[in-house]
Amino acid sequence: MKKLFYTLVVPVSVWAIMELLSRCFAGVSVIANSADMKSLFRTLTSTFCFAMALNCNVPMGRMDLSTGAQMYLGCILGGNIALKLGFGGVGVLIGSILVGCLAGFIVGVVFINLRILSMVLGLGMTLIYECISFASYKQQGLMLFGKPGVGILSNIWFIVSVAAMIILFMTYMLQLSVFGYKRRAIRGNQKLAVDSGINIYINCLICYAMAGALVAVSGVFDTAFKGTLNPVLGMSSNNNTFYNMFPMRVGMFLGVFIGNPIIGIFASSISLNILILGMAKLGLDQSLQTIIIFSIFLFFMIYNMNQEKLEYNKRKRERKKIALQHRREMKEMQTQVNRNHITTGS
Amino acid sequence: MPEKTEGRSVPALRLNERYEIIRANRFVNALFPLVMFLLIIVIFAPLTGGQFLSRNAIISILNQALIVGTVATGVAFIYTTGNLDISVGPIMAFAAIIGATVYNNTLSVPLMVASCIVVAVLLMLFNCTLSAIFNIKTITAAIVMTRIYGAINSKILGASTLRVDYTICRELDNGGFRYAAFFAFFIISFLVYHKTKIGRADRIIGGNRSNAVQTGLSPNRFLYASFLMAGIGVGLAAVFTITRSGTINQDTGTGMGTDVMLATVLGGMSIFGGAKSNSYSGIIGALTVTALNKGLLMVGVSTTVIQGIRGVIFILLVFLNSNSGREKILPSRQQF
Amino acid sequence: MKFKKNLVVLLACITMFFLSACKGSASTSTIASTTTPESSATTAPLATDKAPAETPQDFKTFKIGVVEKQATDETVVRREFYENFIAPNYNVQFIFSEVITDVEGEVNFIENCADAGVDAIICMRGGTDAYQLSQIAADYGMLYLYQGRREAAADLFVADYDNFIGAFGASLPLMTKAYSDYLAENASDDGSEGFIILSSDASKGNLVQTDLTVSILQVLQDKYGLTYEKDLKTLAISDAPTIVKNNKDIAIYIYPGQVKQDGWLEGVSSALQSGRYGYLISTLQSYTQTSVVVDEVERTFDKNITVMSMGTMGDALTTAMNTMDKFGNPSVDFVALELTSIKSAGNFAMVYNALTGHKDNMRGSDGLMSAFDYNRIFLTSPEQLSVMEDWDMNGKWAVSREYVDGMLGIYHSEITADDIQEHLNTVTSYEYIYNYLEG
C-alpha cells in the first residue's frame, strides 16, 4: 500500500496542480479527451524508454553520450529496412530494436576493448553514428507518415502493451534476475565484483545492448507521433540524452521509496509529460516551458543532494527541542524542590 | 636471448613492453598531441597541392580554432579538478548579447570587453555555487543551466538578430586584437596553472579529492578560482564571437560545450583531470580539429562523411594517448 | 592486447576507406588539382576586362560555394540539379557546406571556400545576417548572393557593394493572392471554423515567415472585415502562442516555434483538440509532422480540418497528398510549392552573370543591385500532383536551358533587370512548366 502511494503521489500531485491551473487560466482540462490521452501515452512511452536506457549505464558510472545517436541509427536503418521489406509498424519496431541493440553492443565492445572513459567514447561514437544516419537513405531519415501498416504504432492499446512489456522485462532483468544481481554488485564495487568472480565485461555489454534497444523503441514511438525522424549532425543528438536525464534522475529517487527504480522512472516520466501537456494547454511559449522544467529539476537536485544535511538539521532541531524541554522540566522540578524546602524549613 | 648482468640473466623486453614504456613516458605524452597536429598538416599539404600551407589557410585555421581554444584554455582549470561544465556555450552567447548591447549603447570597446568578461564570470561562479554550496555535481548543474541559459537567450533575442557595426569588428580583427588578447590570456593561464598554487591545488584535487582535503586544501576555494579563470576565458571568447562576424543570434554558442570537450581530449588531456593535466591541451586540440576539418574539405571529402572521419580519428587518438593499461576493471565515473 | 591492436588497425583502415571512397566527383568539390591565386585582395575576380565570351567554355571553371541550412528533400534535389545539370552545361564546380545553422559556421565555410579558390557564395540561410557575411566574403574576394527577400538585408540594397550580387526569393504578392483565393473559395462566410496559423520562426526574425503570417492575417482581415486589437507585425512576431482578439470573435490562434523543438507538436495538438479550429495554416513545411495529430482530432471531433502549408517536391509531399483522411480529403489540402530547380537555377544565373562580367545587367533603375522574385506553384489536389509527381526528380528538371540562358548576359548582352524579372514571371508559372515538361 505504501509502495502504491509512493508510486502515485508525484504523478497525481502534478496532475492535480496542472488541472487546477489549466482550468483556471485556460478553461480546459489537462486530459480533455481520448486524443489527449493518446498523445500523453505516446510521449510518456518515448520518455520512459529513453530514461530507462540511460538508467542502464549512468548509475554504473558510464555516462554514455552516444545514446541519442544510437536512437537515430536504430530507427533510421532498422525502420527503413523493415519498411522496404514490407513489414508494418511492428516490423519497424522490431527492426529498430535490433539495429539499436547492435549499435549499443558495438559501443560496448569498443568500450571494453579500448578502455576509454564512457563519456569520451560517447562523443566519438556520436560523431560516427550521426554521420552514418545522415548519409543513409539520402539524408531523408525515417518517414512513417502515410506508410502502410504503421497505424498500429499510434494505437493506444499497443502503446500501453509495449510499455507494460518493457516494465515487466526490465523489472525482471534489473531486479529479479542474476544479471541484475550481478549488476548491483558491480555498481557497489567493481573490484570486489571482479574478485568474487563476476564477469563485468558481459554485464557491461548487455547493459549497452539493452540501452540501444530501449532508445530505438523511444525513437519509433516519437517518430510515429511526429511523422518523420530527420537525421542530425554536430552532436545535436546529445540534446535528447541531456533532456531525459531529468526523468531518469527523479525516477531513481522515487525508486528508492517504491522499491523498484523502473516503476520510479515510469512515475517520473508520467509526471514530466503531464507537466508538459499542462503547460501546452496553458499556451506557454517554448522558452518559458524549458525554464520551468529545468528549474524544477534544479530545485529537485538541490533538495536531493542536500537531503542528508536537511535531515541532520531536522534531527538537530528536534534534539535541541528535547533538550530545552528537559531543561524546563528540570528547572520546574528544582523550583518545586526549593519551594518544598522553604515550606518544610519554616 | 636473456642478457647477462653480473651473473644473473635479465629477460629482454618484448615489443609491447617497449611500446608501453614509451607510451608512459611523460615527454611522449606531452608531445604526442602536438606531433599529431603537425602530422595532419604534413599529410594534407601534398594532398591539397600545397594550398594547405598557404598563408590564408594557416590564418583561417587559427581564426576558426581561436574561440574554442580560448574557452578550452579557461575550462581546463575546471576539468583539472575532476569536474565538467558544458554550459559554456549559452553562457558565452549571453555574455556576447550583453557585450553587443553595451557596445551599441556606448560605442566603447573596452566597456564591451569588460561587460562580456564580467557577465561570463558571474554566470560561471553561479554554476560553481550550485556545486560548491549545494553539492550538485557540476555536470548535472551544467546540463540544467545549459537549457535554462539557452531559453533565456531565446527570450532576450526574440525576433531580432543583434548586430555590431562590422567596420569596428574588422578594425579589431585587422589590428590583431584577437590574437593579442588570446596570447595574453594564454600566458596568464599557463603561469597560473603551472607556476602557482592554484594550478597545483587543482591537480591534487582532481587526482584525489579526499587526499587534497586531508592535506589542508579547501577544494571549494580552488573550485571557485577555476571557475573564475574559465569565466574569463568564456568572456573573451564572447568578445571574439562578436568581432568575428558582428552578429549574435539564437544559434550562437550552440554545441560549444561538447566542442570544447572534444578539443580538450584531442589535445591529450583527460576531461576528468588529475596530475597529468595541463593548460595547453585545449588550444592544441582546437587547432587539430580545425586543421582536420579544413584538410578534409580541401581534399574534396564529402561534407556528409567529414564528421564520421572526425569521430574515427578522435577515438584513435584518444586511445593512443590513453594510459589505461590492462586493468581488471572498466573505467567508470559517477556523475549523478 | 592483440585484439586492441587489431581494433586500432581496423579503425585506421576505416578512416582510409572513408578518405578514398568518399572523395567528391570532379564536378563538385574536388579542388586538389586546381591552383588558384591567393584571394587576399578585396576586389572580386570578375572577368570585367574581357570581351563577352560566347559560351561557358570560354571562361575558366568557376567555383561556387553553397551554404545549406538544413538537410531536407530540397537540399538533396538542389545538389543533384547543380551537379548533374548546371555544372556540366556551364563549366562550373560546386562546393556544398554541411548543415549550417549559425553565423560562425557560415564564416568558417566562407574561409574554407576562400582557401579552396571559390569565386562566389550562394547562401540558402536567408538574408538575416547577409550584411555582415557579404562583407566577410568581400574581404576574401568572393561574390555573395543570398536566397531570401530584399527586406532581410535591406542595408545591402541602399549602397553599391562590389561583391554583392543581390537576392532571390519567392514572390510574396503572388503567395498572398493564392492564399486569399483559396480561403475565399473554401472558408465559410462567417469564419466560424476558426484558424490556427503556425508562424514558425517569425518570432526569431525569419522575414519570409513573418511576412507570410502578416499576409494571412491580412487576408482574414479583408475577408471578414476584422479589426485586430494589436497591429499585424506585433501579432506575427509573437514568441508565445497568441489568441488574436478581433471585433467579430473569430477564433484565430498564432502558434510560433519550430517543428523540432520539444513540446511544439504537443502544443499544436492541444490547440487542435480544443475543437475551435478548422483551418491549420502553416508558414513552413509541416504537413508530415502535423498529419497524425490532425487525423486524430478529425476522428475525435468528427470534423474536417483543412491544412494549408508550404512544401517542396519529394516523397513527403507525394505521401501527404495521397493519404486520405476519414472525410476522403488528402492530408494536406493546399500547398505553396517551391520547385527546387527553379530556385536554384535563378540563384545560379545571378551569380554567373556577376562572374562573367554582366553584373551591371542586373542593376535596377536606381543603379543598385536587385532582388528578384520567382513564383511558387499552388497545389490543391492529388490529381494535380499526379501530373507533377516526377517534376524535379530523376533528371526531369522543371527548368530548361532556355530558362537559364534567358537570364544570362553572355547570351543577351543587353538584358536588363526588368527583362530578367519578366522572364522569371513567365518561366516560373505552372502553365509554362507544364507545357515544357508535359506538352
Q: Do C265 and A147 touch (CB under 8 A)?
A: no
- CB-CB contact of A265 with A46 (8 Å): no
Which carries the bigger pLDDT value, residue B201 or residue A7?
B201
Closest CA to B40 of B266, B303, B288, B315: B288
- At C290, the amino acid letter reads T
Q: What pLDDT is recorded for position C42?
A: 32
Residues C252-259 have a mean pLDDT of 89
**Three-class SS string for C336-368?**
EEECHHHHHHHHHHHHHHHHCCCHHHHECCCCC
Chain segment B204-250, per-residue pLDDT in tens:
999 888 999 999 999 999 999 999 999 999 999 999 999 998 889 88
Question: Distances from the Cα of A174 to the Cαs of A197, C94, C128, in angstroms?
Answer: 19, 54, 52
Q: So what's the pLDDT on residue B324?
A: 56
Chain A closest-CA separation from residue B110 CA (Å): 32
Residues C222-253 pLDDT 10s: 999 999 999 999 999 888 889 999 999 999 99
Residue in C73, C288, C322 closest to A227 by CB: C288
pLDDT at residue A33, as a whole number: 79
Q: What is the pLDDT of residues A16-53, one digit of tens each?
A: 999 999 999 888 888 887 778 888 998 999 999 999 99
What is the pLDDT, as a whole number, of residue C202?
Answer: 87
User: Searching chain B, which residue's CA lies closest to the CA of residue A55?
Assistant: B336
Q: Is the pLDDT of residue C275 over 60?
A: yes
pLDDT of the residue at B104: 94
Query: Pick from A190, A119, A260, A261: which is nearest to B335 by CA?
Result: A119
Beta-carbon contacts below 8 Å between A and C: 116
pLDDT of B124 = 96
Average pLDDT over residues B83-104: 94
Chain C partners of B289 at a C-beta cutoff of 8 Å? none
Q: What is residue C36's predicted lDDT score, i.e. its pLDDT?
A: 31
The overall average pLDDT reported for chain C is 83
Domains in chain B and their CATH numbers?
A: 52-321 (1.10.3470)
Question: Region C71-77: what's the mean pLDDT?
Answer: 81
Contact C364/C392 with Cβ under 8 angstroms?
Answer: no
Count Cβ atoms below 10 Å from residue A89 Cβ, excluding itself. Answer: 23
Q: Which amino acid is at B15?
A: L
Partner-chain contact B255 A249, CB within 8 Å: no
Confidence of residue B123 (pLDDT cuts 50, 70, 90): very high
Beta-bridge partners for C310: C336
Contacts of C1 in chain B (CB under 8 A): 16, 326
For residue C23, give the nearest of B51, B301, B303 by CB distance.
Answer: B301
Mean pLDDT of all residues in chain A?
A: 91
Where does the pLDDT of residue A247 fall: very low under 50, low under 70, confident under 90, or very high at 90 and above?
very high
CB-CB neighbors (< 8 A) of A284 in chain C: 240-241
**Cell triple for B332:** 567508470
Query: Can you tell me which residue has the cell 550580387?
Result: C165
Is A116 in contact with B134 (Cβ distance < 8 A)?
no
Closest of B48, B72, B50, B52 to residue B60, by C-alpha:
B52
8 Å CB contact of B328 and A191 = yes
Residue B310: its chain A contacts at CB < 8 A? 127
| Residue percentage of chain C with pLDDT more than 70 | 88
C-alpha distance from B100 to closest chain C C-alpha (Å) = 15
**Which pLDDT belongs to residue C20?**
47
Q: Which residue from A309, A152, A125, A127 is spatially nearest to A220, judged by alpha carbons?
A: A152
Q: Judge whether C117 and C36 are in contact, CB under 8 Å.
A: yes
Query: Which residue, B175, B228, B225, is CA-closest to B198?
Result: B225
Mean pLDDT across B98-121: 95
pLDDT of residue C37: 31
Q: Which one of A116, A127, A131 has the shortest CB-CB distance to B319?
A: A116
> Which chain B residue is nearest to residue A244, measuring alpha carbons?
B143
Mean pLDDT, rounded, for B265-294: 88
Q: What is the pLDDT of residues C349-368, one digit of tens each?
A: 999 999 999 999 999 988 89
pLDDT at B298: 81
Residues of C in contact with A121 (CB under 8 A): none
β-sheet bridge partners, residue B162: B248
Percent of chain A with pLDDT over 90: 69
Higher pLDDT, C282 or C201: C282
Judged by a CB distance cut-off of 8 A, whether residue A323 touches chain C is: no
Chain A nearest-CA distance from C267, in A, is 5
- Could you report the per-residue pLDDT of A140-182, keeping only the tens digit for each? 899 998 888 998 998 989 999 999 999 999 999 999 999 999 9
CA distance B268 to A125: 18
Q: How confident is the model at residue C50 (pLDDT cuts 50, 70, 90)?
A: very low
Q: With bands split at pLDDT 50, 70 and 90, how would you rate the model's confidence at C34?
A: very low
Give the pLDDT confidence score for residue B323 in this predicted structure. Answer: 62
| Interface membership of B130 toward A (CB under 8 Å) | yes
pLDDT at C22: 42
Domains of chain C and any CATH numbers:
41-170+340-376+397-438 (3.40.50.2300), 173-338 (3.40.50)
pLDDT of C29 reads 36
Q: Does C387 touch chain A (CB under 8 A)?
A: no
Q: What whole-number distance in Å separates Cα of residue C321 and Cα of residue C211? A: 26
CB contact under 8 A, A123 and B148: no
The Cα of A206 is separated from the nearest Cα of chain B by a number of Å equal to 14
How does pLDDT run across B27-72, given as a tens digit for each residue?
777 788 888 888 888 999 998 888 888 888 888 899 999 999 999 9
A231 pLDDT higher than 50? yes
pLDDT, position C40: 33
**CA of A318, closest CA in chain C: separation in Å?**
45
CB contact under 8 A, B245 and C107: yes
Phi first, then psi, for residue A159 (nearest 5°) are -60, -45
For range C317-345, the mean pLDDT: 89
Res C43 pLDDT > 60: no
Mode of pairing for the β-strands spanning B3-5 and B8-10: antiparallel
Range of B129-133, C26-30, C371-375 with top mean pLDDT:
B129-133
CB A54 within 8 A of CB A262: no
**What pLDDT does residue B294 have?**
87
Please give the residue of chain C at the shortest CA–CA distance from B248. Answer: C103
pLDDT exceeds cutoff 50 at C156: yes
Rounded Cα distance, A243 and A51, in Å: 9
Residues of B in contact with C33 (CB under 8 A): 49
CA-nearest of A72, A56, A34 to A218 is A72
Residue in C2, C96, C270, C295 to test binding to A, most A beta-carbons within 10 Å: C270
Q: Nearest CB to A130: which of B134, B307, B329?
A: B307
SS3 A261: helix
What is the reported pTM? 0.86
Of the candidates B245, B293, B304, the beta carbon closest to that of C136 is on B245
Residue C25 is predicted with a pLDDT of 34
pLDDT at C9: 60
Instruction: Select the residue of C18, C28, C103 nearest B308 (Cβ to Cβ).
Output: C18
Residue of B166, B245, B324 to mutate, testing the C interface (most C Cβ within 10 Å of its Cβ): B245
What separation, in Å, do the N-terminal and C-terminal C-alpha atoms of chain A show? 65
> Do B131 and B138 form a contact (C-beta atoms < 8 A)?
yes
Instruction: Output Rg (C-alpha) for chain A, integer angstroms.
Output: 26
As a whole number, mean pLDDT of residues B315-324 equals 77
A140/C contact by beta carbon, under 8 A: yes
A279 interaction partners in chain C (CB closer than 8 Å): 263
**Mean pLDDT in residue range A10-18:** 93
Find residues 277-306 of chain B whose CB sits inside 8 Å of chain A.
304-305
Confidence band (pLDDT; 50, 70, 90) for A234?
A: confident
Largest Cα–Cα separation, chain A:
110
